[in-house]
Structure 1
């Protein structure tokens, strides 16, 4: 037990160092973490780490999906539902079929085995490409489509995976029955996920305690995922539906204290889960190579390169017709949607990075069939699955910034960023005007003392002055300089309060309360970074 805990601490240390290196060289952390995991796997004396696949599918996946769903805008998800559905369902099925077709005729794999391999490598990862895309400042619609696809495509792939696995284990497959089951799973999980989200918000509103609400929020994704998964579904769609419901209905039902603590709590949880997940994915290469010794190396390499090429090309073959044919064939689509540029479409097609879910499903394959014979081509599937992850994550991930810069997509994103913040400033001003109107109503309707009214007006004026007049360079420079000076003043207050504590003039409890106010003010300054900050 002590040795396992030491390994866990080592992974955390590697995670922190790798994240610092990634920030220094502006590389997606997932890429360096995967490479670091591969390097650690071959260090002499390092014990083999083989987490059970259930750890990823049942323990790691639910909070990742739930957190991304809560952060997702339901309004934007719904507005891009057609594009997301075509990628999350259509592209996954098309890719799985393309892999099955190619591996059957070119490698001689059984149809069911080829389709199983296709289901494993078909879904792009949700973590790595989005981390890269956000750093590159891509247009908002591309981010929304990629994020929505990453949330839902695992459900399609897991359902296909179970259909293919059942066909191999039983030797039977019925397309009409599988199609009906697929639709039933989608409808049932959406209803169940909404119900879980509704219940979770009511329980949290009734609790009104940040610690209890954080506990309930941590339980929510597991309840939404485990029950449908246990009943034969995927669990992913239910978790996505639950997260989107909470994203849309939570702001007016979750207290401010819980929201502030929840942001930091979930940021840390997801950061640790994602980092350790990619490290463990790299660790698996050693075990995969040892298991694959019975298959000729040249056969493994050819199969890996072929499948990697198929999944990359199949995405391009699907994305362009799926993007432009609806505009060509439907007047309703033309009336309600702007035709995406070929450059934006190319970026969406290029961002097909595979991740840990593909490896987890490959590792979850049984070793033997019901008749006692070995599972067909299991070692080949494992090797190819990891190879596709490595090729797409490192190859596509490292070249995506160059592709985006060459196509000039980031300039479009920067323009959108400016417009977004101009609208934000306008909304803040209108909100302050509405609050001032309410203040006048309070003053006339209630018996308020002059001191109280003066204090409320002062609060309103301070908040109004904190907003820049515009986003031009001069106005931005003024507000940026003001924020820098305020940070210096906060630092001076901290230093003085520490001296007061050291001299015994205030208690530790008083110091913590003062520090919390200063922390909130400093966090508020960071939240109002108009350029180069939060996008």
Structure 2
């Protein structure tokens, strides 16, 4: 395929992404399900070339920015508070699931060496950050569950990659060292964290001197690949390096980025991440054709591997349930003995946490990266794709119902001490204090009376609103509806003046920007 046809295929893929996302929203489906099934359907269209995915390239292109985006959006304070639970899922659950899948695979295929069975377990054991985001953005969870799932999806890839490398090496050499595996994992994790600290700190210092917002946005975009590639070049975890970099960047972005940089950067980053997440699911679906052809066709694959695939998928789900419920039982026992202060999840929350383990791009990339001639390679490819398909189609589409069944509530310990209205009142008081200080000249003469009156009135209104939020909500909704109507009228008049030739393009753009900011402010306040 020449470069022109490849570019045409990429454009067609992006058009398919837009169409499939529209269909998903229209029919109430998770976008990941529509994209995965749509990609699988497109793969078998007559005349479409077979899509072969370079696993290393997929990981390098897609994984770093999506990990950085997840780290950028995560609540750092809650991440620290629940680090033990996140580590239990990201390390303990992955190792346990790998062992369970290896045992079940060896039982189903006794001729396969244990190392090969462990390789399959390592491939399918870590839930995927991209898939988790695609599912979680459509549901509302209590903060503790949200941070557990987000933190796990960011960190568990490192565990899966370590297990995978050791399993492949053991299959090639016939030897395996559990002590070496643990030591290697610690080395990769600590080394990756150190690389992330260096890159993140350098970014904080660098952007302070850039000044230009477009350069800052470009530098921040490259940050993901720089940290990941540097970690991999130094033979430590690129995943941990990228996540650590993202955590440092998100902690400091409130002080080093201007308001304009944040607004424009967020818009650019949101579109880029949307296209990347969607492209990942399309590529997974498109790769189905190659997987099926390697397995001998649909009939052969279903007849020979259908039941084993279901068995491995069930083992995967059961292993996660066993780990989550077992960990929750251990917390209950420790709490009863006075050895722990952590509150148990409870049956409903533990069920949701167990059911949310969706697999995706990392599983596919690891399976495809197996060397040619690796024992059971085609079997592993089929099983890996079956796990991705099963978790996305089954768990991804039913997670909302499971959450509704669980009737989850937010405990008081997870709520912030101040509500948003109370925080806004504190912010308004701080602003008023500054205005009161600067509204007078050195001789004590009032030089900004209107500004002082405006901020006094605003602070009083915000404080009153915080005290009687329920009373004011309907009134404010009606108020901002009127503001939005006024903005729309102003925009129509502005366009009329421009079309009539009474104002030039520069005037249109400047005044339209003011209207856009006013509209965004009204929409935000109404929400």
User: TM-score, length-normalised on structure 1?
Assistant: 0.91
Paired with 2:460 and 2:73, the residues of 1 have a C-alpha distance of 28
Counterpart-to-counterpart distance in 2, 1:388 and 1:80? 28
2-structure distance, mates of 1:191, 1:445 = 50
> Deviation of residue 297 (structure 1)?
4.4
- The equivalent residue for 1:209 is 212
1:99 deviates by: 0.9
Superposition pairs for residues 274-293 of structure 1, below 5 Å? 274-293=277-296
1:41 aligns to 2:43 (yes or no): yes
The number of equivalent residue pairs is 520
What's the RMSD between the two structures over aligned residues? 2.4
The structure-2 alpha-carbon separation of the partners of 1:221 and 1:129, relative to structure 1 and needing over 3 Å to count, comes to closer
Give 1:68 shift: 0.6
Contact persistence 1:34–1:278 (CA under 8 A): yes
CA contact (8 A) 2:196 2:242 kept: yes
Equivalent residue, structure 2, for 1:370: none
The alignment status of 1:258 with 2:258, answered yes or no, reads no
Q: Deviations over 1:100-143 (max 9, x none)?
A: 11111332121110111011000112233444334332211111
Picking from 286, 303, 315, the partner of 1:298 is 303
Question: Structure 2 vs 1, CA of residues 513 and 299 (structure 1 numbering), >3 Å: closer, same or farther?
Answer: same
Equivalent position of 1:408 in the other structure: 407
Match of 2:76 among 68, 74, 77: 74
Matched, 1:439 2:435: yes
Q: In the alignment, is the contact (CA less than 8 A) between 2:113 and 2:171 conserved in 1?
A: no
Q: Distance in 1 between matches of 2:400 and 2:310?
A: 23
Match of 1:185 in 2: 188
* Other-structure match for 1:533: none
| Deviation at residue 449 of structure 1 after TM alignment | 7.5
2:394 counterpart of 1:388? no
**1:518 paired to 2:518:** no
1:131-161 CA distance string (max 9 Å, x none): 4334332211111110000000111111111
Identify the range of structure 1 (241-250 vs 18-27) with the bigger mean alpha-carbon deviation.
18-27
1:136 partner SS: coil
Task: Say yes or no: does 1:267 pair with 2:307.
Answer: no
Q: Is the contact between residue 432 and residue 460 of structure 1 (CA under 8 Å) also seen in structure 2? A: no
> Structure 2: which 5+ runs fail to align?
none
Residues 32, 281 of structure 2: 8 Å contact kept: yes
Contact 1:70 1:244 in 2 (8 A): yes
For the residues of structure 2 that align with 1:80 and 1:12, how far apart are their CA atoms?
A: 38
Q: Does 1:168 align with 2:171?
A: yes
Counterpart mapping for 1:235-246 below 5 A: 235-246=238-249
1:475-528 CA deviation, whole Å, 9 max, x = no partner? 222111112111111111111111222233322112111111211222222323
Q: Is the 8 A contact 2:421 2:462 kept in 1?
A: no
- Residue in 2 that maps onto 1:325: 330
Q: What is residue 374 of structure 2 aligned with on the other side? A: 375
Show structure 1 runs of 5+ residues with no match.
368-373, 531-535
2:210 and 2:349 mapped to 1: Cα distance? 45
Q: 1:175 to 1:445 in 2, by over 3 A?
A: farther
Could you say which residue in structure 1 is the equivalent of 2:397? 398
- When residues 419 and 24 of structure 1 are mapped into structure 2, their CA distance, relative to the original with a 3 A threshold, is farther
Alignment equivalent of 1:428, drawn from 410, 424, 434: 424
Structure 2 counterpart SS, 1:180? helix
Q: Contact 2:96 / 2:319 at 8 angstroms: preserved in 1?
A: yes
Query: Aligned match of 1:309 in 310, 314, 323?
Result: 314
Q: What is the CA–CA distance in structure 1 between the aligned matches of 2:214 and 2:402, rounded to whole Å?
A: 45
Of residues 171-180 and 345-354 in structure 1, the stretch that sits farther from structure 2 once superposed is: 171-180
Structure 1 position 484 matched with structure 2 position 488: no
- Who is 2:494 aligned against? 497
Structure 2 residue 513 is matched with structure 1 residue 527: no
Task: State the Cα distance separating 1:450 from its structure 2 match.
Answer: 4.8
Give the deviation of 1:168 after TM superposition: 2.0
Q: TM-score normalized by structure 2?
A: 0.93
SS of aligned partner of 1:43? coil
Cα deviation, residue 229, structure 1: 1.6
Aligned to 1:157: 160
Decide whether aligned partners of structure 1 residues 69 and 24 sit closer, same or farther in structure 2, where only a CA change above 3 A counts. Answer: same
Tell me the distance in 2 between the aligned counterparts of 1:477 and 1:421: 25
**In structure 2, do the counterparts of structure 1 residues 285 and 407 end up closer, same or farther at CA, with 3 Å as the change threshold?**
same
The Cα shift of 1:332 comes to 9.8
Distance 1:420 1:179, change over 3 A: closer
Contact 2:132/2:150, CA 8 A, preserved across alignment = no
Q: Secondary structure at the match of 2:375?
A: coil
Q: Supply the distance in 2 between the matched residues of 1:471 and 1:100 (Cα, whole angstroms).
A: 58
SS in 2 for 1:528: helix
Provide the rounded CA distance (Å) in 1 between the counterparts of 2:70 and 2:89: 17
Partner of 1:252: helix, strand, or coil?
helix
Once residues 323 and 330 of structure 2 are traced to their aligned partners in structure 1, the CA distance between those partners, rounded to angstroms, is 11
